[in-house]
Amino acid sequence: MKKLSHSLLILLTIFLVSCSSDENQNNNADCETEIQLDENTNQDSKSNLAPSLLEQYQDSDDSNFGGEINLLWSDPPTLDPHLTTDGSSIGIVVELFSGLVKLNSNESPPVVADLAESWNISEDGTIYDFTLRPNLKFSDGELLTAEDVKWSFERAANPKTGSTVAEEFLGDIIGIKEIINGQKLTTEGISVINDRTIRIKIDAPKAYFLAKLSYPTAFILSKKNVEYKNNNWLESPIGTGPFILKDYTVGKEIILNRNDNFWDRKAYLDKIVFNLAGGVPMAMYENDEIDITGVTLADLERVEDKCSDLNNDLVTIPPRHAITYIGFNTNKAPFDDIKFRQALNHAIDKQLIADQVFSNLVIPADGIIPPNFPGYSEKISSLRFNLEKAKSLLAESKYASYNSDSSGPEIDTSKIPRITLTIPGTGGSVGFTTEIIADMWRENLGIDINIQQVEWATYLQDLHKGRLQAWSGLAWEADYPDPQTFIDVLFRSDSSINYGSYNNKNVDDFINQAQVEQDTKSRYELYNQAEQIIINEAPWIPLWWGTDSISLVKPRIKNLKFYSLSVSRFKDVWIKDN
């Protein structure tokens, strides 16, 4: 599914102000320390290690076990995998739970075995037989069987669970939609062959189906734990991930301990501590309160100074497969008018913002699918800054017109309904980008907007229920390496994640063809044709793509890797205190 990321927060190093570690370096010859980018980058895995993390580890070395890592985080809206839709929740959920398959941290092949040790796919591509690993156990020591898999999928689809994304991730399975619609409680599309074999039938051959099962909606839960504790099961959830939940104090901290019943080599760390109380990240890092922090523009020059003690801790991070954007509800005025939406797109000088505000450390987005992601096309034509065209389109919309009484070409905007742009937040700064874009609309088009901040969990709830008129402050991150996670999930007219209610028959036709197209090149071309229509009709304003960034990691933290997609990242981390 999608992963909505709060683009105004720094959560671990998932959401960072993008920076380049190759620029503004202090080349003082008296300073020996350098950011050893070439040595720290694993070209195959596209992950990075800080200079202090270069020591190799041995899985059999018992001395690696022990210690804890401390992170700055925010309260997750949920820890229920079947309800997860945001990055702050996913970062914890993937440590506690797991599914049949998982994304490959080395990115090739894109999907690898997790709880399932193997699978077979029928010749027509519609039947998947998964064989579970032998002697799998939940974190409480109870055995996990194929019955648990079937129950978990059906529980995710059950309307009483309340998942907003079950149809997107599991809806390809025959009979799942009937469960979602409240017509059935179980489905013949999922069959238990024996304790270790589960058969899943889907409605058509779909190249991306296996990858979708890596998302938390398809994670396996303990039926006994969920049903026995009812609504309180998340106070002590039972999972199959490398860690277990030890304690959660809202607004203070989340503590994860090692899961001693994990099927693979146990996690090295004794615990992970997520600090939820907030604070100034750089100050907390320098005071040894947290072990990792992102680097903002304000601190960039200082940490890149080769004479700085912090320079030793720098790590480069590959771009997230993400896009930051402004979304419009096309069912709500004035965003039901295509020319009005196009005018707003053309009135924003994204390159000027990149130059003057972010010192060219962000990349203006021309399309939806990010560069270096499967299906990306340089041929997509964007609605770039063009003030005259913006004014002309605004005047042609049903909410504005040229003022005939004026001696000049002024536009009458008196009929434009009040516009509220909602962003996540709790009363602090609304952010440079939002303020500047609002100013550009005001100065260039005479359009005033009201910026409204809403607490993160409420923001997500309002977004899912289609209550927002326009929204910003988000990045959409890919959940698996396939353009379906962008074009299909976000813009198909009947998608539950199409928050702007965008509807175009031609786009749906291209998407429907791409769903069953088996030739990769042809499938990507279909997505690109849909993408161009979407850009032209402007239900979004694409803002920025992810770029390389930097972070600081304490020298005591070993083997911490960063990836372009969300995967469990702390199982292999270990601590070496000097």
What percentage of the chain's residues is helix, strand, coil (to nearest 5)?
30, 20, 50
Residue 515 has pLDDT above 80, yes or no: yes
Cα gap 269→215, rounded to integer Å: 24
Task: Provide the token pair at 500.
Answer: 């702007």
pLDDT of residue 32: 38
pLDDT category of residue 300 using cuts at 50, 70 and 90:
confident
pLDDT of residue 409: 64
Instruction: Compute CA distances 74 → 12, 207, 290, 557, whole Å.
Output: 10, 35, 14, 21
Chain centroid offset of residue 377 CA: 21
* Burial state string for 541-566 with b = 16 or more CB within 10 A and e = fewer than 16: bbbbbbbbbbbbbbebbbbbbbbbbb
Q: Which residues pair with 190 in a beta bridge?
A: 200
What average pLDDT score do residues 544-559 get?
89
Q: Cα-flanking dihedrals φ and ψ of residue 559, to 5°?
A: 65, 30
Q: Are 87 and 3 in contact (CB under 8 A)?
A: yes
Between 45 and 424, name the one with better pLDDT: 424
Domain with CATH 3.40.190.10 in the chain: 3-78+241-318+548-575
Give every CB contact of residue 133 below 8 A, 6+ residues apart in sequence. 115, 116, 117, 263
Between 116 and 36, name the one with better pLDDT: 116
Residue 22 has pLDDT above 80, yes or no: no
What average pLDDT score do residues 343-359 get?
92
Pick the CATH number of 322-545 from 3.40.1440.60, 3.40.50.300, 3.10.105.10, 3.30.1950.10: 3.10.105.10
Q: Are 569 and 87 in contact (CB under 8 A)?
A: no
Pick the CATH number of 98-233 from 3.40.630.30, 2.40.30.10, 3.90.76.10, 3.30.56.10: 3.90.76.10
Helices (H) and strands (E) in the chain — how many of each?
A: 17, 26
Residue 31 has pLDDT above 60, yes or no: no
Report the chain's mean pLDDT, rounded to a whole number: 87
What average pLDDT score do residues 528-548 get?
94
What average pLDDT score do residues 210-218 get?
96
Between 327 and 473, name the one with better pLDDT: 327
pLDDT of residue 28: 37
CATH number of 3-78+241-318+548-575: 3.40.190.10
Q: Are 30 and 542 in contact (CB under 8 A)?
A: no
Write the pLDDT tens digit of every residue in 117-157: 999 999 999 999 999 999 999 999 999 999 999 999 999 99
Domain with CATH 3.10.105.10 in the chain: 322-545
Q: Which residues pair with 103 in a beta bridge?
A: 111
Q: What pTM was computed for the model? A: 0.84
Cα gap 229→497, rounded to integer Å: 30
Lowest mean pLDDT among 42-56, 206-220, 342-356, 398-412: 42-56
Residue 16 has pLDDT above 50, yes or no: no
Residue 88 has pLDDT above 60, yes or no: yes
pLDDT of residue 431: 77
Residue 5 has pLDDT above 60, yes or no: no
Instruction: Compute CA distances 197 → 115, 172, 186, 192, 250, whole Å.
Output: 11, 20, 18, 6, 39
Residue 38 has pLDDT above 60, yes or no: no
DSSP for 480-496, written as a single string: SSSGGGTHHHHHSTT-T
Say if residue 323 is exposed, middle or buried (CB neighbours under 10 Å; 0-12, 13-18, 19+).
buried
DSSP for 153-215, written as a single string: HHHHHSTTT--SSHHHHHTTBTTHHHHHTTS-S--TTEEEEETTEEEEEBSS--TTHHHHTTS
Cα gap 548→316, rounded to integer Å: 7
Domain with CATH 3.90.76.10 in the chain: 98-233
